[in-house]
């Protein structure tokens, strides 16, 4: 945790901070919780165990708000069940006069389990999009919106309409996450990612 804290504290204005969670997610006590490891919750040990091992969505949102106020752009990516159940007031992540913001990209609505088949995970499909499958307009760049749309369509299709990823953002849809091919070779400088 100390190394993570040091890394996060090194974020500067204009940086892009990406927080990625692929784990178990539960809704309990009017909040969303990420379980970094299975502590028996799914096996029926009970909700009391959540308080010992889970990370509250509210705590994560407070944390993100701190960085957005420091003019750091933040992308939160959750590949967990019920991940859209995280309380996310978009107005908390909008700084008038600032270009910083936050995107919440989640694999499932508040009422849905996330597919965990190795072929169908939201994370895998989002990654495939970043590798070029989502470059719909063939401009040799993959934007945040293109990557999400690619993953959304494939997850919805592969889950027979049972899973619906969610994208909420104050960042521009045109934010480039990946440059491909010629533009990359011409020395185009990527945004610093931490």
Summarised one tens digit per residue, pLDDT across range 74-96 is 999 999 888 888 876 777 777 67
Query: What percentage of residues in the chain have a pLDDT greater than 70?
Result: 80
pLDDT reported for residue 118: 54
User: Diameter of the chain by CA atoms?
Assistant: 56
Q: Which domain, by its residues, includes 68?
A: 12-184
Least confident of 2-6, 26-30, 62-66: 2-6
pLDDT reported for residue 1: 57
- φ/ψ (deg, to 5) at 57: -60, -35
Q: Which two tokens stand for residue 126?
A: 């989002």
Residues 6+ apart with CB under 8 A from 87: 31, 32, 57, 58, 61
pLDDT reported for residue 185: 45
Q: Does any domain span residue 6?
A: no
Residues 6+ apart with CB under 8 A from 166: 83, 84, 104, 105, 106, 108, 109
pTM, full prediction: 0.82
Q: Does any domain span residue 2?
A: no
Q: Does any domain span residue 3?
A: no
Q: pLDDT per residue over 115-129, tens digit each?
A: 776 556 899 999 999
Number of domains in the chain: 1
pLDDT reported for residue 131: 95
Q: Does any domain span residue 115?
A: yes
Q: How far apart are CA 114 and CA 103, in angstroms?
A: 19
Distance of CA 63 to the CA centre of its chain: 14
Q: Does any domain span residue 169?
A: yes
Least confident of 9-13, 41-45, 110-114, 173-177: 41-45
Q: How far apart are CA 5 and CA 72, in angstroms?
A: 15
Confidence of residue 69 (pLDDT cuts 50, 70, 90): confident
CATH code assigned at 89: 3.40.50.1460
Q: Does any domain span residue 104?
A: yes
Q: Does any domain span residue 7?
A: no
Are 169 and 135 a contacting pair, CB within 8 Å?
Answer: no
HSE value, Cβ hemisphere, 13 Å, CA-based, for 152: 13
Q: Does any domain span residue 1?
A: no
């Amino acid at each position: 945790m100390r190394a993570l804290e040091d890394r996060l504290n090194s974020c500067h204005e204009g940086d892009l901070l990406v927080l990625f969670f692929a784990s178990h997610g539960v809704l309990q006590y009017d909040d969303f919780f990420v379980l970094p490891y299975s502590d028996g919750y799914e096996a029926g040990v009970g909700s009391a165990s959540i308080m010992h091992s889970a990370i509250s969505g509210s705590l994560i949102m407070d944390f993100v708000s701190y960085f957005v106020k420091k003019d750091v752009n933040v992308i939160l990516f959750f590949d967990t069940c019920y991940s859209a159940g995280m309380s996310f007031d978009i107005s908390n992540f909008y700084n008038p006069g600032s270009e910083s913001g936050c995107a919440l990209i989640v694999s499932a609505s508040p009422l849905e389990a996330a597919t965990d088949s190795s072929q169908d995970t939201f994370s895998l499909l989002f990654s495939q999009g970043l590798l070029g499958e989502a470059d719909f307009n063939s401009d040799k760049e993959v934007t945040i919106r293109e990557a999400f749309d690619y993953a959304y369509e494939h997850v919805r299709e592969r889950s027979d309409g049972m899973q619906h990823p969610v994208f909420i953002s104050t960042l521009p849809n045109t934010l480039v996450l990946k440059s491909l091919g010629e533009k990359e070779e011409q020395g185009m400088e990527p945004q610093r990612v931490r």
